[in-house]
C-alpha cells in the first residue's frame, strides 16, 4: 500500500513559508475588510433605535469612508420621511433603498427599508458599492430579495467534526455553550448579513437525536440570541426516529397520534426557548437515515406531521428529496423524481421540498434536477454545495458561481421562459415560500473557509440566493475588489482565474458528462476502477459503464430512460447524442470510443484533449497568480500559491490515473502530442489516504 504523502517537498516548502512571522492579512475579515479606523470618519445618524440599527450604524462608522454628507438610517414609516418621493412598497420587509435625500433641510445619504433588518442590508449594500469601486457621488441603490429563505446548512456534528468540511472543526463549540458565546459567532452573523443570508441550520442532516434534548436546545438558543439582531433565524436538522430514542415510544410512524403529539410537545419546548425558531430540516430514508417509509408511510406523511407541529409558531419544514435506496434497482438519478413527483400537491403549506441542483450528488457537473418544474403545486428550495466535496476539498481553486448560474439559468422546458431560478423563487407557480440552501464551507480555520478563494463560494451563494439573476462574473469582480482591493490588474487577473477554475476541475476529474469517479468514502482523488463496494450505486463503475466498446450511462429509452423525467422539449434534446450538449454527453449516452464529436475528433480523442486542457488550465492559473505576488499580502499570496501547486500536481494525478484506467479497457493509444501517464495503473490503484478531512472516522 502506498500512502499519498501530503508532506512532499512542495508541502515542506509550504510549511516553511507559512511558519514565518505574522503577515498583513490572514483572511479573517473576509470580503468585509479590516476596519478603516481613523480613515472611516463618516457621520451616521439614527432615526430610531434597536440592536439591529446600532449594528448597522457601527458597521458604517467603522468602515465607511468620508462622504460629503451624513448617512441617515431610518425606517420607511418614519414621519421624517413623509412626503419624500421614495416608494418602498415593492421592497417588502427585507428590501432596502439607499439614495440622496433632503430631510429637515439637510442633505443626507438615506438608508431605508420597512424593517431594521432591511436597513442593515442597505448599510452593507452601501459599503459593498463603495468598496467595490462604486462612485460615492452616485449612490442610488435599491434591491429586494428574490427568495424568502436564504439558508446555510451546516453539516456539523456534535463531536466537532464537520462532515464534508475542509476548514477545521465546527464553528460551534457545543461544550462551552450556552455559557460562553465565542465572539466569532457575531462575526459569522455579520458576514452572512452582508449577503442577506437569513437562516442557518446548525447541525448535520445526518442528525443525532441529542440535538433535540433540553441541553442542546439551550445551546441553540444561545446562538439564536447572537444571530437575531443580524436578521438570522436558527433551524435544526431533526432525526426522524427521535420519538423512539428520546421519547421512549415504540414507533416513529408519522400516522401514529402519539408520535404526532411527541413532536408537537418538542416543538413547543423549542419555541419556548427560541421564539423565532425557523423550523426543521429533515433527511429521511436516505443513506441509512430513518424515515416514514420504514413504516409504509410516504414522505408527505412525515413532512406534514412535522409541519403541523411547528405551524402554530410560524415554523416551516424543509424536507430533502435526496433519497436513494439499495432496495430500488432503478437508476439512482431517477429515484428522487420517482418518489416525490407523485406527492406534488399533498404537502402542507409550510413544507418546502429541498432538491439538490442535480439528481446524483453535487458532482462537478450535473444536468439540472428533473424535479425543478415537475412539482408546480409544491414550493421547492434548491440545495447547492458550497463546500467542495467533489471539487478538490479546500486546496483546489474552484469558483462555484458559474456552476450555480448554469443550474439557475437552465430552462425547465415546462413553459416558455421558465428556469430553475423562476421555480426556486416561487415566481413560476406563485408560491409565497421560496428559497436556496447552501451546504456551508465554514469552520474554525482562521480564514473561515480553508483558503481565500473558498470564501468566494460562500459569497456568491449569498448573492445569488438574494438574486438568482445576477451574473457570477460580476459577483466575482465584486468579491475580488472587496477582498484584494480595487487595483484593476488584480481584479482582472483574479476574475479570469475564477471564471475558468470550475471548468478546469470538470476537465481533469470528469469531462464530457462523466461523474462520480471519485475514490471511496472521502471522495478525494480518482477511483474510476472501484467496483467492490456494498451497493451498486456507490461504485464509480456504475456511473461510467466503460468497457472495450464504449463509455457512458445510457439514460435514453434504450437504457434507464431518465430523460423521460424532463419536460418533452428537454427530453428530446437529451435523447439524441447529436443534440445533447457535449458537456453532458456521457451522462445521458453510452457511446463507442470512436464516436465522432463536433469538430471531427473521436470521443476518445476529445476525452483526452479535455483531460489535458484541465491540467493546462491549472498551470495557467498558477502562472497568473505568480504575477500578483508584488501586489498581494504575503500570507494570502503564499497560501494560495501553495494550494495551486497542490492542485497542479493533483490535476495531473487525476488525468494520468483516469487515462491509465480507460486505456486498460479500450486498448487505445493516446493521440499524438499527449503525454503518457507517469505511472502504471496499479500504482494509482494503490494510493491510499489516512484520516482525510471532512470524513468522520
Instruction: Please answer whether residues 348 and 404 qualify as being in contact, where contact means their C-beta atoms are separated by less than 8 angstroms.
Output: no
Is 389 in the active site? yes
Instruction: Write phi, then psi, for 377 (nearest 5 degrees).
Output: -90, 5
* Per-residue CA distances from 318 to 149, 193, 283, 460, 576 (Å): 11, 22, 9, 22, 36
Question: Peptide bond preceding 178: is omega within 30 degrees of 0, i.e. cis?
Answer: yes
Per annotation, catalytic residue among 287, 344, 429, 633: 287
Contact between 344 and 378 (Cβ < 8 Å): yes
Q: Could you give the 3-state DSSP secondary structure of residue 86?
A: coil
Contact assessment for residue 142 and residue 112, using Cβ atoms and an 8 Å cutoff: no
Q: Which residues of 433-472 are buried (b: 16+ CB within 10 A; e: fewer)?
A: bbbbbbbbbbbbbebbbbbbbbbbbbbbbbbbbbbbebeb
Selected catalytic residue, list 116, 301, 339, 389: 389
Instruction: Kindly report the backbone phi and psi dihedral angles of residue 246, in degrees, each rounded to the nearest multiple of 5, phi listed first.
Output: -110, -30
C-alpha cell at 496: 479570469
Give Cα separations from 96 to 117, 118, 141, 144, 200 (angstroms). Answer: 9, 5, 8, 6, 22
Active-site residue 478, yes or no?
Answer: no
DSSP code of 156? B
Measured between alpha carbons, how far is 383 from 379 in angstroms, rounded to an integer? Answer: 13
Integer CA distances (angstroms), 371 to 321, 383, 565, 581, 585, in order: 9, 12, 8, 20, 20
For CA atoms 493, 499, 505, 508, give the dihedral sign: negative
- Candidate list 339, 361, 418, 507, residue with the active-site label: 361
Q: Is 418 a catalytic residue?
A: no
- End-to-end Cα spacing for the chain: 20
Q: Give the closest residue to 131 by CA, choosing from 25, 38, 57, 39.
A: 39
| Start-end of H helices in 515-593 | 540-544, 568-575, 585-588
Sign of CA dihedral 205, 206, 212, 216: negative
- Where in the sequence numbering do the catalytic residues fall? 287, 361, 389
Amino acid at each position: 500500500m502506498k500512502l499519498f504523502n501530503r508532506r512532499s517537498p512542495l508541502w515542506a516548502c509550504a510549511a516553511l513559508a507559512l511558519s514565518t512571522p505574522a503577515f498583513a492579512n490572514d483572511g479573517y475579515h473576509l470580503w468585509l475588510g479590516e476596519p478603516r479606523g481613523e480613515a472611516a470618519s463618516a457621520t451616521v445618524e439614527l432615526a430610531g433605535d434597536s440592536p439591529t440599527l446600532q449594528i448597522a450604524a457601527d458597521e458604517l462608522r467603522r468602515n465607511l469612508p468620508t462622504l460629503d454628507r451624513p448617512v441617515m438610517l431610518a425606517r420607511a414609516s418614519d414621519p421624517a420621511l413623509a412626503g419624500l418621493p421614495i416608494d418602498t412598497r415593492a421592497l417588502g420587509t427585507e428590501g432596502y433603498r439607499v439614495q440622496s435625500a433632503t430631510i429637515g433641510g439637510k442633505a443626507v445619504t438615506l438608508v431605508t427599508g420597512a424593517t431594521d433588518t432591511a436597513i442593515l442590508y442597505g448599510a452593507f449594500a452601501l459599503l459593498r458599492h463603495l468598496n467595490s469601486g462604486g462612485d460615492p457621488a452616485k449612490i442610488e441603490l435599491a434591491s429586494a430579495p428574490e427568495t424568502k429563505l436564504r439558508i446555510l446548512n451546516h453539516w456539523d456534528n456534535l463531536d466537532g467534526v464537520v462532515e464534508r468540511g475542509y476548514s477545521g472543526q465546527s464553528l460551534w463549540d457545543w461544550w462551552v455553550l450556552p455559557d460562553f458565546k465565542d465572539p466569532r459567532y457575531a462575526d459569522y452573523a455579520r458576514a452572512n448579513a452582508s449577503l442577506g443570508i437569513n437562516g442557518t441550520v446548525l447541525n448535520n442532516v445526518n442528525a443525532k437525536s441529542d440535538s433535540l434534548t433540553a441541553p442542546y436546545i439551550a445551546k441553540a438558543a444561545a446562538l439564536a440570541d447572537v444571530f437575531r439582531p443580524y436578521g438570522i433565524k436558527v433551524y435544526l436538522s431533526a432525526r426522524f426516529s427521535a420519538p423512539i430514542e428520546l421519547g421512549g415510544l415504540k414507533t416513529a410512524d408519522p400516522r401514529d397520534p402519539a408520535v404526532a403529539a411527541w413532536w408537537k410537545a418538542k416543538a413547543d419546548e423549542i419555541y419556548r426557548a427560541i421564539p423565532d425558531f425557523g423550523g426543521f430540516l429533515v433527511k429521511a430514508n436516505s443513506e441509512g437515515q430513518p424515515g416514514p417509509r420504514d413504516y409504509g408511510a410516504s414522505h408527505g406523511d412525515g413532512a406534514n406531521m412535522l409541519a403541523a407541529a411547528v405551524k402554530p409558531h410560524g415554523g416551516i419544514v424543509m424536507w430533502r428529496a435526496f433519497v436513494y435506496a439499495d432496495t430500488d434497482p432503478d437508476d439512482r438519478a431517477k429515484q428522487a423524481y420517482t418518489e416525490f413527483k407523485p406527492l406534488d400537491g399533498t404537502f402542507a403549506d409550510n413544507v418546502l421540498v429541498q432538491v439538490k441542483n442535480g439528481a446524483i450528488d453535487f458532482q462537478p457537473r450535473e444536468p439540472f434536477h428533473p424535479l425543478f418544474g415537475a412539482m408546480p403545486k409544491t414550493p421547492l428550495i434548491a440545495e447547492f454545495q458550497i463546500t467542495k466535496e467533489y471539487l478538490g476539498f479546500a486546496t483546489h481553486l474552484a469558483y462555484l458561481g458559474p456552476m450555480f448560474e448554469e443550474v439557475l439559468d437552465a430552462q425547465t422546458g415546462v413553459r416558455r421562459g421558465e428556469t430553475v431560478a423562476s421555480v426556486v423563487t416561487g415566481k413560476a407557480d406563485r408560491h409565497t415560500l421560496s428559497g436556496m440552501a447552501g451546504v456551508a464551507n465554514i469552520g474554525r480555520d482562521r480564514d473561515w473557509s480553508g483558503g481565500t478563494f473558498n470564501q468566494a463560494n460562500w459569497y456568491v451563494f449569498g448573492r445569488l440566493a438574494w438574486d438568482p439573476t445576477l451574473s457570477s462574473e460580476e459577483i466575482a469582480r465584486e468579491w475580488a475588489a472587496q477582498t484584494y482591493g480595487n487595483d484593476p490588474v488584480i481584479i482582472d487577473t483574479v476574475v479570469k482565474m475564477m471564471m475558468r477554475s470550475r471548468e478546469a476541475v470538470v476537465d481533469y476529474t470528469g469531462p464530457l458528462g462523466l461523474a462520480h469517479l471519485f475514490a471511496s468514502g472521502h471522495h478525494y482523488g480518482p477511483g474510476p476502477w472501484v467496483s467492490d463496494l456494498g451497493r451498486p450505486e456507490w461504485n464509480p463503475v456504475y456511473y461510467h459503464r466503460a468497457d472495450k466498446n464504449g463509455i457512458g450511462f445510457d439514460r435514453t429509452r434504450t437504457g434507464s430512460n431518465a430523460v423521460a423525467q424532463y419536460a418533452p422539449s428537454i427530453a428530446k434534446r437529451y435523447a439524441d447524442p447529436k443534440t445533447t450538449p457535449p458537456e453532458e454527453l456521457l451522462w445521458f449516452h453510452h457511446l463507442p470510443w470512436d464516436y465522432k464529436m463536433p469538430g471531427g475528433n473521436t470521443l476518445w480523442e476529445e476525452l483526452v484533449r479535455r483531460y489535458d486542457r484541465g491540467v493546462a488550465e491549472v498551470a495557467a492559473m498558477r502562472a497568473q497568480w505568480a504575477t500578483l505576488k508584488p501586489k498581494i499580502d504575503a500570507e494570502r499570496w503564499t497560501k494560495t500559491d501553495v494550494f495551486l501547486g497542490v492542485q497542479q500536481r493533483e490535476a495531473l494525478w487525476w488525468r494520468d490515473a483516469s487515462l491509465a484506467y480507460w486505456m486498460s479497457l479500450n486498448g487505445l493509444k493516446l493521440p499524438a502530442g499527449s503525454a503518457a501517464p507517469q505511472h502504471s495503473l496499479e500504482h494509482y490503484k494503490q494510493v491510499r489516504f489516512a484520516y482525510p478531512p471532512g470524513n468522520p472516522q
